[in-house]
Structure 1
C-alpha cells in the first residue's frame, strides 16, 4: 500500500500537481503511523500476555507455599496449646499441694510440656526470590503486594516472641543444672532412656520438691503467660494474615 502511494506521489510530482502530491504524501505518512501503532499494539499485547502468564505462575507457586505454611502454623499452634495445657496442669499441682502427682506422672508431664521447642518455619523461598529480584511488581493486585511485603516483617515479630518463649523454657531447664533436681529421673520415667537404648537407674532422685519451689512457680507462671501471648497476640493474627493472602491469591487465579 505504501509503495502504491509512493508511485502516485512521484507521478504527481512529475506532473507538477503539488496539491494532490501533498495529499498522497500525507496519506503515506498516515499509513506509516498506523502501521507503527498497530505494531506497538501487537507488541504491547504480547508483553501483557507474557506478564499475565508470569503472574499466574507466581500466584500458583505462592499459593502452594502459603498452603504448606498454613499446615505448619496449624500444627505449631496445636503444640503450643499442648505445652500451655501441660504447664497449667503443673501449676495446678503447685496450687493444690494436697493432691500431688506421682513421681512418674510428674516426670511425664514435665517431659511432654517442655520437650518441644516452638519455632515457625514457613515456606518463603519463592516469595523471597520475588522480593530480591524485584518480581513482586509483577503481581497486579496492589493489596496482595502489600500483604506479601508485610508478611516478612510480621514473621520477624513472631520470631522475637518465639525467642522470648524459648528463653522462658530455658529458665525451667536451668533448675535442673544442679544437684537438687534430676533430668535422669524425667528421662527414665518418660521412656526417653529406653528409646535411646541406654540403661535406666533403679533408684531415682525425686523432683516433686519443685512443686514447693518459689523459683519453679515463678518460671512456670512466666512460661504460661508467654505461651498464651504467643498464640493470642501472634499466631492467631498470623493465621488471619495467612488466610487473607490465600484469599487474595484465589481471587486473582479465578
Structure 2
C-alpha cells in the first residue's frame, strides 16, 4: 500500500503536476491522521471496556467480602451484648443479702464479663484495592466515600476496644485478683479447671464493696462503648453493601 502511494506521487512529479502532488500529499497526511485517531479511539474503547470489567470484578469482590464480614460482626455484637447483660446482672446483685447471692453462679457471671474480644474483619479486597492504586476504577463517588468512612470506623472501633481492654487489665482484673478466686472464675473460661479453689473464699464480701461496684460500672461502660463502635461498623458495612449492590447491577 505504501509503495502504491509512493508511485502515485512519483508519477505526479514526473508529469510536472506539482500542485496536484501537494494536494495529494496533504490528502495522504489527512488520511494518516484520521487513521491514527481511529486507532487511538479503538484503544480508548478497549481500555474503557477493560476498566469496566475490572470495576465489576472489584465491586463484586467487595460485596462478597463485606457480606461475609457482616455475618461475623453480627456474632460479635450478639456476644458482647450477652457480656453486657451479665455485667448488668452483677450490678443489680451488688448489695444484695447472702441468701439472694447464693441463688446465682457469681463466678460464671464474672467469667463472662471478661470474655470480650477484638474484632478484625477481612480486609484483603480493600487493602489490595488501595495498594494497587485501582480505587479510581470505582465510578461511584458514594462508594469511594463509604470505603474511606469504613477505614475511619475501623480506627474508632480499635480505639474503643483498647479502652475496654485497658479498663479490664488495669482496673477490673487487678480488683478480682485481690478479692475473688481467679481459679473459680477461670473454671468457666478457657482453663476449665472443673474444680473450685481449695482455699476458703466467699464472694459475699466483694458484692458488699463500693469499690467493686465502681469497677464494675467502669467495665460495663467500656463494654457498652465497644458495642456502639461495633454497631457503627455494621452501619458502615450496610451502606457499602447497598452501594456495591447498586454498582454491580
SS in 2 for 1:177: helix
Q: 1:146 to 1:155 in 2, by over 3 A?
A: same
Could you tell me which residue of structure 2 aligns to residue 205 of structure 1? 201
Could you tell me which residue of structure 2 aligns to residue 249 of structure 1? 244
Structure 1 gap ranges (5+): none
Mapped to 2, the partners of 1:70 and 1:187 lie a distance apart of 30
* TM norm structure 1: 0.86
- Deviation track 1:106-144 (CA, whole Å, cap 9, x = no partner) reads 122112232x22311110122112222322222222322
Alpha carbons 2:184, 2:196 under 8 Å: kept: no
Mapped to 1, the partners of 2:104 and 2:96 lie a distance apart of 18
Mapped to 2, the partners of 1:199 and 1:144 lie a distance apart of 54
Could you tell me which residue of structure 1 aligns to residue 54 of structure 2? 54
Could you tell me which residue of structure 2 aligns to residue 102 of structure 1? 102
Alpha carbons 2:51, 2:137 under 8 Å: kept: yes
Mapped to 2, the partners of 1:146 and 1:93 lie a distance apart of 46
Alpha carbons 1:103, 1:206 under 8 Å: kept: no
Mapped to 2, the partners of 1:15 and 1:144 lie a distance apart of 67
Alignment of 1:168-187 (within 5 A): 168-170=167-169, 171-178=171-178, 180-187=179-186
Shift of 1:89: 0.7
Mapped to 1, the partners of 2:54 and 2:64 lie a distance apart of 16
Alpha carbons 2:111, 2:189 under 8 Å: kept: no
Is 26-35 or 9-18 further displaced after alignment? Answer: 9-18
Mapped to 2, the partners of 1:50 and 1:32 lie a distance apart of 27
Mapped to 1, the partners of 2:94 and 2:196 lie a distance apart of 28
* TM norm structure 2: 0.87
SS in 2 for 1:208: coil
Mapped to 2, the partners of 1:238 and 1:191 lie a distance apart of 28
Alpha carbons 2:91, 2:216 under 8 Å: kept: yes
Is 153-162 or 11-20 further displaced after alignment? Answer: 11-20
- Deviation track 1:67-124 (CA, whole Å, cap 9, x = no partner) reads 222122111111111111111111111155587322752122112232x223111101
Q: 1:237 to 1:185 in 2, by over 3 A?
A: closer
SS in 2 for 1:175: helix
Give the alignment's Cα RMSD to 1 decimal. 2.5
Could you tell me which residue of structure 1 aligns to residue 143 of structure 2? 144
SS in 2 for 1:176: helix
Alpha carbons 1:103, 1:208 under 8 Å: kept: no
Is 9-18 or 64-73 further displaced after alignment? Answer: 9-18
Could you tell me which residue of structure 2 aligns to residue 74 of structure 1? 74
Aligned residues: 248
